[in-house]
Structure 1
Amino acid sequence: MARTGSAGRPAGVDPELLWQRAERPRRGRPPAYDRAAITAEAVALADAEGLAAVTMRAVAARIGAGTMSLYSYVPNKETLLELMIDQVSGDHRLPSEPSGDWRADLRRFARDQRAIMLRHPWLPAALPARQTLGPNTLAAVEHTLAVLAPVGLDPQARLETFSLLTGFVASHVTYELAQQRAMEADGRTSGELLDAQARYLRSVAAADTYPHLAQALAAPNHDPAAQDVFDRLLDRMINGLTVAP
């Protein structure tokens, strides 16, 4: 038996219906809305208030439509989420061809992906619930596979590499956003929190119980700037992804 969602409508996403069939023209008056405009309002709502705020009722209110009329454009919330994910995936600035330096291209793609997720903080949490790949997401996948073509990985391994890279970026951005929320709740600046953490760890390391930690803390400090931290971790990630020299 098929699952049903709100208003007794079928839940889940039909990728063929969603991506391969254009919105059906209606007889009589032209439609008052379209999926792109509805999706843009849903994205704006999620950006401002979080993913939990995105309901069919709330999106309908933003566009000035009745909730039931929204279902004639988007059959359920799961489909709306797919449209949202793919719309923001279109923010990627994909070059027409890889540069030939696959590591540089992967870095550029991952940095772009991080910037998109920071602009849309709901995106990392939404990705695990994704059920299909829309045209913008497919363009990003195709670009990454082309970048990795000369590396020597088989096609399946290249797909797995794309998933690992995206997973790394989403995980890192999730951590960054959580740290930002913690600082806002604490009322201290990032520098103050880092100083407090450093004092605590130095006192723990001084007890000789954690010699390896003490050694790490004695090493020269790296620049704590968020972009620099991301770039260092990204380089380690990229260098460990493939068997290429």
Structure 2
Amino acid sequence: MTTDRPELIWLRPERSARGPAPAHSRSAIAAAAIALADAEGLAAVSMRKVAASLGAGTMSLYNYVPAKEQLFDLMLDAVAGEWGLPDTPSGDARADLLEFAKCGLAAMRRHAWLPGLILTRPTIGPNSLRCTEFFLAVMSDSDQPPDTKMELFAMLNSSICMYAQWEANQRQAGGSERWQAELVAYLGQAAATGEYPHLAATFAASTNRAPDLDPDAIFTRAIGRVIAIILDPRTV
């Protein structure tokens, strides 16, 4: 069965040019869904629960958001509006990309469900397009091809998501310091077996200095390497 209504929600007008104003805005619907996901996880988000939080009937919500996948698109784009990026880059590409990454990580820390959804359902809503535009503005002096720039943008976003998930997994394992301590103990046992000489040499060198376990410092170092690749065409 075919329909003339577009599947992409951004191609659907939020309200008709005729008739009364809608009772619920897309921003209100997205906010209700985000609050539910923050409290109970993404799996708890349903059209029924979102409608109930708005005081609406489930079927009436479908008049605004025809499918749950489109609800996810509204959620993703609403959170993309939290990045808080400046209107124009500063001119320091490395600093601008690092600030972009830190804004993304901060949003993912506020919304634990966000990294997984970004990786599985990229979105192109208005706020997401502003983020893309900012990245391309930062890269405007680069001589890399346009398609390569978009690939690098995806790589940066994926790296932020993967770090956020790694950090969340550490918290679930009992905390960063505990996890690191157990990891060091295990690597020490493995290195002592003699089966991993390169690992043993690396482990011995690393134990001579105290590791910096501050999550923000780890992120800055890790994402800084990704940014170095993005900005240096010779490494691509």
State the TM-score, normalized to the length of structure 1. Answer: 0.86
- Residue 13 of structure 1 is matched in structure 2 by 7
- Residue 197 of structure 1 is matched in structure 2 by 183
Q: For residues 163 and 67 of structure 1, what CA distance do their matches in structure 2 show? A: 35
Superposition pairs for residues 169-188 of structure 1, below 5 Å? 169-183=160-174
- The reply to whether residue 71 of structure 1 matches residue 62 of structure 2 is yes
What SS class does the counterpart of residue 139 from structure 2 fall into?
Answer: helix
CA deviation profile, 1:124-165 (whole Å, cap 9, x unmatched): 111234364000000000000010111221211111111000
- Residue 123 of structure 1 is matched in structure 2 by 114
* Alpha carbons 2:115, 2:164 under 8 Å: kept: yes
- The reply to whether residue 54 of structure 1 matches residue 45 of structure 2 is yes
Superposition pairs for residues 130-149 of structure 1, below 5 Å? 130=121, 132-149=123-140
Moved over 4 A (4+): none
- Residue 214 of structure 1 is matched in structure 2 by 200
- The reply to whether residue 168 of structure 1 matches residue 159 of structure 2 is yes
- The reply to whether residue 235 of structure 1 matches residue 224 of structure 2 is yes
Q: For residues 63 and 195 of structure 1, what CA distance do their matches in structure 2 show? A: 46
Q: For residues 202 and 129 of structure 1, what CA distance do their matches in structure 2 show? A: 36
Distance 1:229 1:73, change over 3 A: same
Q: For residues 24 and 17 of structure 2, what CA distance do their matches in structure 1 show? A: 12
Q: Percent same amino acid at aligned positions? A: 42
* Alpha carbons 2:115, 2:161 under 8 Å: kept: yes
* Alpha carbons 2:51, 2:57 under 8 Å: kept: yes
Paired residue total: 230
Q: For residues 22 and 16 of structure 1, what CA distance do their matches in structure 2 show? A: 8
Give ranges in structure 2 of 5+ residues lacking alignment. none
* Alpha carbons 1:15, 1:132 under 8 Å: kept: no
- Post-superposition shift, 1:48? 0.9
- Residue 23 of structure 1 is matched in structure 2 by 15
- Residue 107 of structure 1 is matched in structure 2 by 98
State the TM-score, normalized to the length of structure 2. Answer: 0.89
- Post-superposition shift, 1:38? 1.2
- Post-superposition shift, 1:99? 1.2
Distance 1:182 1:43, change over 3 A: same
Moved more, 57-66 or 124-133: 124-133
Alignment-mate amino acid for residue 7 of structure 2: V
- Residue 7 of structure 1 is matched in structure 2 by none
Give ranges in structure 1 of 5+ residues lacking alignment. 4-9, 184-188
- The reply to whether residue 81 of structure 1 matches residue 58 of structure 2 is no
Q: For residues 48 and 19 of structure 2, what CA distance do their matches in structure 1 show? A: 26
What value does the CA root-mean-square deviation take over the aligned residues?
2.1
What SS class does the counterpart of residue 114 from structure 1 fall into?
Answer: helix
CA deviation profile, 1:12-60 (whole Å, cap 9, x unmatched): 9325533xx23225635x4332221111000110111111111000101
